[in-house]
């Protein structure tokens, strides 16, 4: 009997768009320089320079340049320690690559980051020298990581957009909660977040649903944190 092939219109079987090597290389570079591990340091530098009057105690404790001790604490806890954990996991064979592409590769880094971010939030809050909105920022990151870790059981949500969603949520928190006119900064952050999300789509690292969910988680986590601490 002759077989009859029935054409399908299933969209899931359609070919994905193919991008040029140059565009993919640019997207790779953007993904690296916009990694969420850099964002706490970036936000710290922004608020310290924009609102130095809220960080006077940290300036008084400087060693070589203004706020150096504060920067060291943030960089060590939110950048160095997570990178060290990923490198250790790679050396021990617990993860396949530094990019953490597989869901199972993200479990240990997620758990480690929840400890590190809660630690820095608790330390700043207990010390009492940081303003409430700064404490809320780190609590928001902790909440976002917990949400991402739970969601990672079911789907691979974009950590890049969780991070950039957190930046947008933090800026919204400053505008709504403290009546700050930072609309230009918010516009730039949204533009950068859009570029990062586009880069992740070009690389095929995530689906649009995973990108949008990441943004939603990041923004929501910051607003929840502000409701708790702010």
Share of the chain above pLDDT 70, in %: 90
Question: Would you say the C-alpha torsion 208, 117, 50, 229 has a positive or negative sign?
Answer: positive
> Would you list the DSSP string of 130-193?
S-HHHHHHHHHHHHHHHHHHHHTTT----HHHHHHHHHHHHHHHHHHHH----HHHHHHHHHHH
pLDDT at 123 over 90: yes
Average pLDDT over residues 64-87: 91
Residue 3: band (very low, low, confident or very high) from pLDDT cuts 50, 70, 90: very low
Please tell me the pTM assigned to this model. 0.85
Q: What is the pLDDT of residues 129-161, one digit of tens each?
A: 899 999 999 999 999 999 988 887 788 888 899
pLDDT beyond 50 at 183: yes
Question: Rounded to whole angstroms, how far apart are CA atoms 137 and 140?
Answer: 5
CA distances from 84 to 78, 81, 113 (A): 11, 5, 11
* Residue 15 binned pLDDT confidence (cut-offs 50, 70, 90): low
Asked if pLDDT for residue 169 goes beyond 60, the answer is yes
**pLDDT tens, residue by residue, 41-68:** 999 999 999 889 999 899 887 788 889 8
Share of the chain above pLDDT 90, in %: 52
Q: What is the mean pLDDT of the chain?
A: 86
* Banded pLDDT at 212 (limits 50, 70, 90): very high
Q: How many other β-carbons are positioned within 10 Å of the β-carbon of residue 53? A: 7
Whether 76 has a pLDDT exceeding 60, the answer reads: yes
Q: Using CA atoms, how far apart are residues 183 and 188, in angstroms rounded to an integer?
A: 9
Length of the chain: 230
pLDDT at 4: 43
Tokens of 116: 């590190």
């Amino acid at each position: 009997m002759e077989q009859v092939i029935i054409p399908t219109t299933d969209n899931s079987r359609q070919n994905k768009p193919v991008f040029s090597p140059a565009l993919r290389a640019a997207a790779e570079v953007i993904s690296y320089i916009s990694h969420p591990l850099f964002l706490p340091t970036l936000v710290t530098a922004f608020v310290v320079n924009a609102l130095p009057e809220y960080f006077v105690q940290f300036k008084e404790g400087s060693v070589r340049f203004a706020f150096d001790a504060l920067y060291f604490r943030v960089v060590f806890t939110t950048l160095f320690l997570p990178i060290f954990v990923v490198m250790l996991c790679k050396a021990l064979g617990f993860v396949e690559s530094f990019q953490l592409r597989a869901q199972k590769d993200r479990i240990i880094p997620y758990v480690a980051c929840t400890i590190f971010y809660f630690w820095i939030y608790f330390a700043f809050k207990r010390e009492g020298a940081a303003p409430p909105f700064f404490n809320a920022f780190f609590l928001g990151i902790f909440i976002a990581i917990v949400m991402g870790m739970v969601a990672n059981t079911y789907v691979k949500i974009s950590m890049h957009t969780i991070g950039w969603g957190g930046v947008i949520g933090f800026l919204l928190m400053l505008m709504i909660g403290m009546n700050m006119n930072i609309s230009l900064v918010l516009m730039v952050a949204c533009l950068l977040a859009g570029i990062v999300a586009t880069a992740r789509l070009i690389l095929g690292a995530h689906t649009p649903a995973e990108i949008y969910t990441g943004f939603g988680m990041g923004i929501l986590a910051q607003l929840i944190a502000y409701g708790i601490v702010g």
